[in-house]
Amino acid sequence: MNGKKKVIYIIHDLKIGGVETALLTAMPILTEKYDFRLICLGIIDSKIKSKLKERELNSIIEYSPYNPISFVKAWRFIISFKPDLTLASLWRANFLATLTVFFNKRLAFVSFNHSTKHAHLAENIVQKASVKLAKEIWTDSFSTSNFIQSRYNLPDSPKIISFLLRNVPAKKINFNEITEHKFMFVGRIIKIKRLDLIIRFSQMLSQHGFQYKIDIYGPDEDNLWQAFEDQISQETLNITYQGPRPYDELANIYTEYHHYVQFSDYEGMSISVVEAMMSGLVCFLRPVGEIKNYSNHLQNAIHLSNISEEGLELFFKTARKVLNDPEQMTQLSKAAKENWKETILYNQDLINNIDRILM
């Protein structure tokens, strides 16, 4: 079409999430610069769909991942479209891309990996196959890159693509004037996000007389919030569930708070933590996934490194000391913002690397 290079990107769902949100920021450039198709092997959020421009909507092709006939149709479309480059994120997408390349070795394929663990055996098998057949392996973090390299001993290290999605306004907070510490969390309401530890943190704040509020933002897809809400109500903790917010609204929401809290069992890049740091929030974090590579304890964040009772008590003691020291909070806030200056954005890094392969 008009001499443009043909590019396909395969994903699972198109809904609120790190991988999907990142891709959405690049959609305007992808659809303008290339003859682009987005193959979606799952759910497309109607709210996201309503915000896309006509050209972006027309680029999306939806297939059911659970219907073998639909899967074959997706495979046949890729073959007939004859893309110059196919990218795939997450395991079902990589399975489709790997299967396609297996039967047509001329197709160029990039396997984009976002995790340092496998959720199940199928994901493990697909990754082993995809790294063998892909032209290049991409990741979104040093942690994932090291994970892939250590498992497969690739001749070339995986290419790390920036997952910084936008420049979030930095806020200068006067920590001397805080009368109520305002904390926030952004993420799905799922077990691995460990909202139970946020509740423990809230209990500690209440027991030691801190004036505070903690607001929780994110979708409750598994209907888990009710159980937390019952406990919060019984103990009169100042935690409020604010529900999900569109991604484009969050940048301004960060500026309403002083602190960010996240105690997940597992994270990848964790864009919400990155953006909280960019905003200058003092972040109370578990150093999991890529978080341990871009945050440093008592330099630009406060780490909960051990969730044993002794580990929690040590963390709570450190947190109380920080929250009672406006000068230390000011230094942590400044260092958090400085950490993300002059980092290339995802959409530009993605396009630069697609162009590099297509040259």
- What torsion do the CA atoms of 136, 116, 187, 172 make, to the nearest 10 degrees? -80
Q: Round to whole Å and give the CA distance between 63 and 76.
A: 12
Per-residue pLDDT at 135: 95
Do 6-164+344-358 and 175-338 show the same overall fold?
yes
Instruction: Give residues with Cβ within 8 angstroms of 121, minimum separation 6.
Output: none
What type of residue sits at position 174? Answer: N
Q: Average the pLDDT over 348-354 and give the result.
A: 96
pTM for this predicted structure: 0.81
Per-residue pLDDT at 183: 98
Q: Average the pLDDT over 217-239 and give the result.
A: 93
Give per-residue pLDDT as tens, 302-343: 999 999 999 999 999 999 999 999 999 999 999 999 999 888
Per-residue pLDDT at 50: 84
- What residues does each domain of the chain span? 6-164+344-358, 175-338
Give per-residue pLDDT as tens, 7-55: 999 998 887 667 888 888 899 999 999 999 999 998 888 888 888 899 9
* Residue 30 CA to its chain's centroid (Å): 20
Helices H, strands E: what count in the chain?
A: 15, 13
Q: Average the pLDDT over 214-235 and give the result.
A: 93
The CATH architecture one would assign to domain 6-164+344-358 is 3-Layer(aba) Sandwich (3.40)
Q: What percent of the chain has pLDDT over 70?
A: 99
Looking at CATH, the fold of the domain delimited by 175-338 is given as Rossmann fold (3.40.50)
Give per-residue pLDDT as tens, 89-126: 989 999 999 999 998 888 999 999 988 888 889 899 99
Mean pLDDT value across the chain: 93
Per-residue pLDDT at 17: 66
Per-residue pLDDT at 16: 67
